[in-house]
Amino acid sequence: MRIETVVVGPLEVNCYIVWDPETMEGAVIDPGAEGKRIERIIEVTKIKLKYIINTHGHVDHIGANKDIKEAFPDAQLVIHEKDLPLLRNALNSFIAPMVGAKASPEPDVLLKEGDTISFGSISLEVIHTPGHTPGSICLYTPGLMFTGDTLFAGSVGRTDLPMSEPEKLIPSIKNKILKYPDDTVILPGHGPSSTIGNEKRYNPFLREGFVLL
């Protein structure tokens, strides 16, 4: 597996371009802004783009869906079914002009817990982790997890935004993410990478007795 991390937009979203170096089939995860820049990387690398994956529907993570879909019309746009309302209304966010967002096309596939996204020899397991948004997902392949805005290095996703579900975030992380091996690398939607083991040990939001307000 090859991964190119492209930090896009003023909110510094980690957009991940992932591909199989043998078949060159790939996916882009969270194209939040700077669509033309992402497009150029895909074209120069000669990736056969199969999927445009949104880990959730916030505008800073979906703002360049339109650009990427227009450039690669055969790629399937996918998002969890519970975040479809956020995707459709993303331009109502006050930060939409800041990130240069464009209205997203309708998704080709609505994801649910346990689905698998496959391209080349790579398979990504869809893990539904509500909290930051109702339809937030993480994507797991052995040794690696893309955590979107659910879990960060030393922090967790915000739950003070419209449609956030504060009571669900920490249980999502503890019950659905922390069960994976400690050496699993996490690649979050913002900021540096970490491992599940590090987050178990050092993330203050995951300490016993911590209450997320």
Token readout for 211 is 């209450």
Reported confidence tier of residue 207, pLDDT bands at 50, 70, 90: confident
Instruction: Fold for 2-206, please state it.
Output: Metallo-beta-lactamase; Chain A (3.60.15)
Give me the sheet containing 25-29, strands edge to edge: 2-8, 13-19, 25-29, 48-53, 76-80, 109-111
pLDDT tens per residue, range 116-170: 999 999 999 999 999 999 999 999 999 999 999 999 999 999 999 999 999 999 9
